[in-house]
Structure 1
């Protein structure tokens, strides 16, 4: 595990181009930030180009305003043979006022490492929970992705009803 990066934080200010007509950051912009942080974390863990394969349990719980200092945190919480699951928290705060960050968005994002030569999934270094918090996060990630899979199957059944 030496040299592997399990956690990553991006920090930046929410810019005018990021916001909608109401002055709040677009959900799509937040999703882009999540994907960028997840990608950097996946490459940092695996050492390979990686692709997003799923996002589960995304919740927008508080708005991000123009000028907010935003922190997007990615933490590896589960590995499969070629996949890596990251818990993502997006937090924000007004940099001009004292106060703690507020949780704005949370989700689990899954990446698969890709072989540079053939472009096929390639194994990633295994990660195992080290403490109770790690075990809780690993269980959480697998439950969120199982729920997402159930939703996909329900949508597929619905779409096939008229065919």
Structure 2
């Protein structure tokens, strides 16, 4: 049911096909996993098909090794009329251990669309805890910063 499923965690093993020339998991593979988790989270919250509108602030903190168990946790941290800001944490570690370390963090904005591909209304998410209020406030500040960066970038577009 829409408006109830706020978070999801995808888990899987990294494979040799995910490796880069340095022997670690390729950043592009991690970005694909992030997009998949963001979609699953947004679709679960909205109950609708969603598209990626923005992915930013991607921080690659530690490498992921082939054979690691990877957990991609996605959580709604702000909703607009049709958009959802999804906070993503990627953690990885040896599958024989319970310890997972943060490898990547970012924010993804997903937009719910109707059958014609037009943005469509979604349920509002209202933060209840102090932590969730901080996450929402951070999403609002990031929205403002993206607007200012976009305004600056206009000088570079012909």
Question: Could you say whether these structures have the same fold, taking a TM-score greater than 0.5 normalized by the shorter chain as the test?
Answer: yes
- Residue correspondences, number: 158
Look up the match of 2:36.
36
Look up the match of 1:115.
114
Q: Deviations over 1:64-109 (max 9, x none)?
A: 010010000000000000001110000001113x352111110110
Aligned CA-pair RMSD: 1.6
Q: Once the 2 structures are TM-superposed, how far is the Cα of residue 23 of structure 1 from its aligned partner? A: 1.2
Q: Is it true that 1:90 corresponds to 2:90 in the alignment?
A: yes
- Gaps (5+ residues) in structure 1? none
Instruction: For residue 141 of structure 1, give the secondary structure of its aligned residue in structure 2.
Output: helix
Structure 1 range deviating more: 103-112 or 147-156: 147-156
Q: Within 5 Å, which residues of 2 pair with 1:12-161?
A: 12-96=12-96, 98=97, 100-116=99-115, 118-160=116-158
- Gaps (5+ residues) in structure 2? none
**After TM superposition, what 4+ stretches of structure 1 lie above 4 angstroms from structure 2?**
none
